[in-house]
Amino acid sequence: MTPVIVAEASDLGEGYVIWMVFASLIVVGISTLIQTRRVGPVGAGIVLPMFTAAFAIPFCISAVVEGGPATLTSLVVVSAVVQLVVSRWLFIFRRVVTPIVSGTVMMILSITLASVVFKLLDDTTAEEPVGGTVTAFVALVIVAALALRGSALLRLWGPPIGIVGGCIAAAILGIYDVSRVVEAPWIGLPQEWPGLEFEFGVAFWTLLQSYVFLGIIIAIQTNGAAVTAQNASFRGDRSIDFRGVQGAIAGSGVSNMLAGIGGTVPTAINPAGAAFMQTTGVASRHIGYAIGLIFILLAFVPKASGLLSKIPGPVMTGYLVLVNGTLFADGARTVI
């Protein structure tokens, strides 16, 4: 949902939204394959599914609103370069970025994301005072209930189940228009492409420090996710593969380089991947290959892209409320 929120904030039309979803699916699929397979020094060599980074939403909205798609492309590439630098000199950064630092940063990100969530909530209630509020509440309650009370497997499926439940509620209340999804072909490519352009205007230099910071944040998140995934991927105790962690961060950098070139939002490792391996006991690389290929195939199914791009705002709001709270709680737990 990250590319949908960012693209809609740009007011560049539905074509741009569809392109962002298409490019995101392609990038996430390719980068998941790279993380799983490991190509030279790039990639973790274990199952590390990638996803679009929700905590990057405020950064991306600022870039695309103030400078346009070309500025977003330039800044995402900068964040990718930062991650590649961190992967090369990880032994130095590990001494500086302590758990207290990383936890504090996560809490700051949650506060930044909260401003976007509240704006979405205001827009939702202004357009549909009753339907929007009820839909957001339904999505939030379903995801929260499964996260707090569901089994380990249900907790993993909580977000998609909550989104589907919210969409059903929106359809019942008449605020979910699926007509364009029905009319979309099964196989095809986006009809509009924003083009590959770089912009180094005032907006770029104003937001440059923010994206350097974002690159470091993604590297920190990747470091923690890679360590957790390594522990979940092998039976028994074993030392952490430092080269594997470096490869994961380098893979994240390559992923964001592709995201920048593709004109879409930054990516990060999905923390649910390690939880899935711990819950099911399945850590085969074939799972990673399957996930990556599914994402790539979905990109060429306009009905799937249209379905994702048409998720109602209230549903996204309800989901992001929980994401924001979880992000803050994870940061606080790391600090404590």
171-213 pLDDT, tens digit per residue, is 888 777 777 677 777 787 777 777 778 888 888 899 999 899 8
Distance of CA 166 to the CA centre of its chain: 20
Residue among 19, 21, 22, 36 at smallest CA distance from 291? 36
| CA 312, 153, 56, 52 torsion-angle sign | negative
CB 56 within 8 A of CB 252: no
pLDDT category of residue 276 using cuts at 50, 70 and 90:
low
Question: CB of 323 within 8 A of CB of 54?
Answer: yes
- Predicted confidence at residue 293, as pLDDT, reads 92
User: In terms of pLDDT, which residue wins out, 186 or 259?
Assistant: 259
What's the pLDDT at 287? 81
Assess whether pLDDT exceeds 70 at residue 278.
Answer: no
Q: Do residues 313 and 43 make contact, with C-beta atoms less than 8 angstroms apart?
A: no
Percent of the chain clearing pLDDT 70 (strictly above):
85
Q: Specify the pLDDT at position 152.
A: 64
* Separation between Cα atoms, residue 111 and residue 113, nearest integer Å: 5
C-alpha 35: how far from its chain's center? 16
Q: What's the CA gap between 12 and 305, in Å, rounded? A: 17
> Which 8-state DSSP code applies to residue 130?
T
What integer is the mean pLDDT of 14-28?
88
Q: What is the bridge-based pairing of β-strands 50-52 and 267-269?
A: antiparallel
pLDDT at 160: 78
pLDDT of 256 reads 93
- Above 70 in pLDDT, residue 235? no
Give the DSSP letter of residue 56: G
pLDDT at 274: 64
pTM: 0.81
Q: Is the pLDDT of residue 141 over 70?
A: yes
Residue range 272-294: average pLDDT?
74
- Strand segments, DSSP code E, in 248-288 are 267-269
258 vs 29, 77, 78, 94, 262, CA distance in Å? 11, 8, 12, 26, 6
Give the whole-angstrom CA distance, residue 325 versus residue 320.
8
Average pLDDT over the chain reads 80
- Provide φ and ψ at 159, rounded to 5°: -60, -50
Of 36 and 99, more confident: 36
Query: Which residue type occupies 38?
Result: R
pLDDT of res. 75: 93
Name which of 283, 248, 253, 324 is nearest 54 in CA terms.
324
- When pLDDT is cut at 50, 70 and 90, the band that residue 124 belongs to is low
